[in-house]
């Protein structure tokens, strides 16, 4: 596969999309932007919903690859998750298939495995083939997205790297995030590796920096050529002084998904 140049970035108005709009052009990508929310200062951005199949098809026409970030990024009602994340991701893959785009980078989430107990110091890292244990309808939609990606590879030859992102923000803001943080710079490095690695088929990777307190195994990400440069440990003294270490007796600290696991469900679904 020739190295992709033109990349559709869905969810370009969001937090991660805004960070990647700033960082990915330095790798030589020409970004086409897509979001239901208008983006100030970006007159060429496509403002459309993932439910708009025609707009999606036009958006993917002629691009070399797609980074799919658009969707609901936290727990919500099943109906909203169904429309944006499940049907929306299906619509995106159908457009990709119809227009012959070869590669998708899918923003999955740690919440696809959110019910997995978080490793205690000395425990083995969580492997990428750990059984999925979604912690929310949101996590369930990411689990669906990974299966959809596998299906579109097996059935249609569309390649995907599913990135189970930990927490990608400017800085970690909690002790949990010391384990799962992905710096924006490492996020761009990982997306670049996911866009350019050869023969990925459908590959699932964890998305985080090389954190001292890492919970999961980055080897599949590294196999794409990803070399993380950052470590959240520089923020540890401050965060631990403020919040204390994670407490094995605290249910909010017991699982990978943190409070997503323990938050009361959003009834009615
Ligand atoms: P965000 O909520 O800031 O951005 C999501 C964007 O998607 C928003 O701009 C929103 O307008 C757009 N969007 C939502 N529904 C849409 C629809 N139906 N049609 C078109 N656009 C729609 O989320 P963030 O943090 O930027 O995350 C981006 C992606 O990465 C999401 O898929 C999220 O689930 C995933 N992710 C992010 C993590 C993080 O730490 N930021 C961690 C794990 C996964
Ligand atoms: C996610 O999947 C969310 O999109 C993000 O906002 C954070 O909550 C992140 O997971 C996390 O687990 O910290």
For residue 231, what are its two tokens? Answer: 């470590």
Supply the pLDDT for residue 267: 65
- Quick one: tokens of 52? 């708009």
Residue 13 alpha carbon to ligand 1 centre in Å: 8
Choosing from 93, 115, 138, 226, which is the catalytic residue? 138
With a 6 Å cutoff on the Cβ, whether 111 touches ligand 2 is yes
- Rounded to the nearest angstrom, the distance between the alpha carbon of 109 and the centre of ligand 2 is 7
In 3D, which of 249, 216, 208, 211 has the Cα closest to residue 118? Answer: 216
Cα 68 to ligand 1 centroid, rounded to whole Å:
9
Instruction: Annotate 204-232 with three-state secondary structure.
Output: EEEECCCCCCCCECCHHHHHCCCCCCCCH
Q: Is 191 exposed, middle or buried (0-12, 13-18, 19+ CB in 10 A)?
A: buried
Per-residue pLDDT at 1 = 66
- Contact present, 114 and 136 (Cβ < 8 Å): yes
Q: Which ligand does the CA of 208 lie closest to?
A: 1
pTM assigned to the model = 0.98
Question: Does ligand 1 lie within 6 Å of residue 134's CB atom?
Answer: no
**Nearest ligand to the C-alpha of residue 47?**
1
What is the secondary structure of 36-63 as a DSSP string? SS--TT-TTSEE--TT-HHHHHHHHTT-
Contacts of 27 (CB under 8 A, 6+ apart): 188, 192
For the chain, list the domains and their CATH numbers. Answer: 6-258 (3.40.50.720)
Tens of pLDDT, residue by residue, the chain (269 residues): 667 799 999 999 999 999 999 999 999 999 999 999 999 999 999 999 999 999 999 999 999 999 999 999 999 999 999 999 999 999 999 999 999 999 999 999 999 999 999 999 999 999 999 999 999 999 999 999 999 999 999 999 999 999 999 999 999 999 999 999 999 999 999 999 999 999 999 999 999 999 999 999 999 999 999 999 999 999 999 999 999 999 989 999 999 999 999 998 876 55
Strands (E) located in 87-148: 103-109
Q: Can you list the positions of beta strands (E) in 71-119?
A: 103-109
Distance (Å, whole) CA 74 – CA 66: 22
Cis peptide before 150 (omega within 30 of 0): no
CB atoms within 10 A of CB 166: 24
Active site residue 235: no
């Amino acid at each position: 596969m020739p190295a992709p140049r033109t990349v559709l970035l869905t969810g370009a108005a969001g937090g991660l999309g805004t960070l990647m709009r700033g960082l990915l052009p330095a790798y030589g990508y020409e970004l086409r932007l897509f979001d239901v929310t208008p983006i100030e200062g970006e007159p060429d951005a496509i403002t459309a919903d993932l439910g708009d199949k025609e707009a999606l098809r036009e958006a993917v026409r002629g691009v070399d690859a797609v980074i799919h970030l658009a969707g609901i990024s936290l727990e919500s009602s099943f109906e909203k998750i169904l429309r944006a994340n499940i049907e929306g991701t299906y619509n995106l893959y159908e457009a990709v298939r119809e227009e012959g785009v070869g590669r998708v980078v899918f923003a999955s989430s740690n919440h696809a495995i959110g019910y997995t107990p978080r490793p205690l110091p000395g425990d083995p890292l969580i492997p990428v083939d750990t059984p999925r244990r979604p912690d929310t309808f949101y996590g369930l939609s990411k689990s669906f997205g990974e299966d959809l990606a596998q299906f579109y590879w097996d059935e249609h030859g569309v390649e995907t790297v599913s990135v189970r992102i930990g927490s990608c923000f400017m800085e970690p803001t909690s002790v949990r995030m010391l384990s799962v943080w992905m710096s924006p710079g490492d996020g761009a490095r990982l997306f670049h590796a996911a866009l350019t690695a050869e023969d990925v088929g459908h590959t699932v990777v964890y998305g985080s920096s090389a954190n001292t307190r890492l919970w999961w195994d980055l080897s599949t990400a590294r196999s794409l050529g990803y070399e993380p440069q950052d470590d959240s440990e520089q923020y540890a003294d401050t965060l631990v002084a403020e919040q204390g270490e994670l407490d094995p007796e605290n249910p909010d600290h017991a699982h990978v998904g943190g409070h997503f696991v323990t938050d009361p469900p959003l009834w009615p679904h």
